[in-house]
Chain A
């Protein structure tokens, strides 16, 4: 039995979910910008100002922040995956390793 306690399958699923979420958030943010431009084309006044200057800015800023975190988390898990793989290889190639010829 391996001493490396790391579930590569669960990690891979998490990485995939993080990548999917970041991609969806990027595409949603881009699409939102287009839809908002269209909405604001016929809409002016204090509420339009609020929507453009506060709501959209906040949504964009928060989306950017979340995407950064998702990417960082994904990178962290991928690094953990790699480290766990290396440890597993090292363990198997070392004395008593099952993969030694």
Chain B
């Protein structure tokens, strides 16, 4: 139990007792002093008192020391009392009990402020001495994390965090939320607190920016004809280039706000679920570039199963609503197939995903879907995040970890898996993958029987050709062998797929394969069920294709059922589609 997880009720009582005892002692010390003075001034013959030892430790000094300590204990007790009152008020306002960690931190915050009010010198001195060092330490940890993960870093962060006293922890959450919020290895509840602080501040800041930009784009423009005529620019006008820049920035800000509001709507109260879902933890958030976020449905530190979903092409914070819906659907499906298992389903947008745009297919653009640069950068962050999940998990048991990569996200997962073979996760799932950067499941560092792939029949992304035209007719996709092909050597599970239709006006013209790329999470779909079964570790129930050779046997997976339908690439038709939560991949 930490100092602030419970409010000791006996400190004030101790201080009251001590004050009374110290008073009696001080009174007795004065009486003793008077008696000794009287004896000394009575003029005894020196020969009688020469051998009497001196009293070099007067009882009065002891009484003063005891009183100072008892007073200090009383102040600590008062701080706890005020912390308890603040905690109760906070609980009443929020209407929910806190989880123990949140409670502890809130109590710590109240204790600190109470201590500050009562000028409790020791507490302040402790904090003053510890916080600067701790702030420096967290900054160093984050720098190391972003530079490229040391495999032991997250565990070191976790161990270091637990050496800090609650007051210092709370100080860091308040003073450095942008660092604490992203530091892998810290408890989910701590990151959540830090990022919730950032969320509110970011919405406030971006709302102000949006208002300013909306005003700015309305300013009259200095027309091109005036530029040509050489007329001086009239006061209060702006150039078309400036206006275009503002319009672009306004679009970015509106997108970020859309994503932040979507996250805010999902969060609910700290440590408390809503709408039948588990508590939501905000494990990462920033509005740099197109924004980044990590949202966990269920506490990953205590869950038995932890699945991390890595989105792909076109992913950005503005689309957080759709991606969170996918994570929620996985959680709900796992809950349905394995109701007794505590699961955390995480939406992980911790990298700059390639975006749709003019540079989309330019292999020399760092943001192109043809480039591996975003995947390589994302892999570093994903590897670190996965290490953080392991480090922060309760030590009583290890979670079953799964990483699910969609589309370009599967390349991020593949790149992360080969950074340190066998460490990233227990199971890897790829859906709609253009390749994962290696040509065989065995190259990912775990048993191929734990490498899973799903692919809708007409999903165009896995069919993106390799760079080399000589490989266009082989099994390779854009970034290596298609993980849903037999040549890859993993397990391929069944997927539903439903073509869309291209219309000209109201008239249907052509079948549209693109919706299939986003249908893997459709409610009721066999793909969603299969992914949930893998997350729950119910491998025997996963509907896999019988024609896929059974890969190297692993300890956990089971052979495919005899009823497994058709060969890979030929999924069976199934009932109609439902709306897709996200349109990107």
**Which residues of A line the B interface, CB within 8 A?**
4-7, 10-11, 13-14, 16-18, 20-21, 24-25, 28, 31-32, 35-36, 38-39, 41-48, 50-51, 55, 58-59, 62-63, 65-66, 69-70, 72-73, 76-77, 79-80, 83-84
Which of A50, A62, A70 meets B65, CB within 8 Å? A62
Given A46-B3, A59-B62, output 12 extra A-B contacts at Cβ < 8 Å.
A7-B44, A28-B66, A35-B14, A39-B14, A43-B8, A45-B4, A46-B126, A51-B69, A59-B65, A66-B57, A76-B52, A84-B44
Are A47 and B123 in touch, CB under 8 angstroms?
Answer: yes
User: Which chain A residues lie closer than 8 Å to B143 at the CB level?
Assistant: none
Is B73 among interface residues, defined by CB-CB distance under 8 A?
yes
A-side interface mostly: helix
Inter-chain contact B45/A35, CB cutoff 8 Å = no
Report B10-40 residues with CB < 8 Å from chain A CB: 10-11, 13-14, 17-18, 21, 24-25, 28-29, 31-32, 34-36, 38-39
Q: Is B175 an interface residue (CB 8 A)?
A: no
Tell me whether B241 is interfacial, beta carbon within 8 Å. no
A65 to B62, CA, bound (A): 10
Give Cα A24 to B20, complex, Å: 13
Q: Which residues of B contact A46 (CB under 8 A)?
A: 3, 126, 165
What are 26 contact pairs spanning A and B, CB under 8 A?
A4-B45, A5-B44, A6-B44, A10-B35, A14-B36, A17-B28, A17-B34, A20-B32, A21-B31, A25-B59, A35-B10, A35-B13, A38-B10, A39-B8, A39-B10, A41-B10, A42-B8, A45-B2, A45-B166, A55-B69, A70-B59, A76-B51, A77-B49, A77-B52, A80-B44, A83-B48
Candidates B4, B24, B57; contact of A69 at CB < 8 Å? B57
B53 near A72 with CB under 8 A, answer: yes
B43 in contact (CB, < 8 A)? yes
Q: CA–CA, A51 to B48, complex, Å?
A: 43
Q: Does B76 contact A (CB under 8 A)?
A: yes
Q: Which of A39, A42, A44, A84 contacts B2 (CB 8 A)?
A: A44
Most B C-beta atoms less than 10 A away, residue of A10, A20, A72, A77: A10
Question: Chain B residues with Cβ under 8 A from A72's Cβ?
Answer: 53
Partner of B3, one of A7, A31, A43, A77: A43
B51 near A63 (CB under 8 angstroms)? Answer: no
* Contact of B468 with A by CB under 8 A: no
Q: Closest CB of chain B to A81's CB: distance in Å?
A: 8
Q: Is B6 an interface residue (CB 8 A)?
A: yes
Q: How far is the CA of A58 from the CA of B62 in the complex (A)?
A: 10
Q: Which residue of A lies closest to B43 (CB)?
A: A5
B358 to chain A, nearest CB (A): 58
CA distance A10 to B39 in the complex (A): 5
How distant is B82 from chain A, measured CB to nearest CB, in Å? 15
Whether the Cβ atoms of B28 and A48 lie closer than 8 Å is no
Contact in complex: A13, B53 (CB < 8 Å): no
Return chain A residues, CB-CB under 8 Å to B122.
47, 50
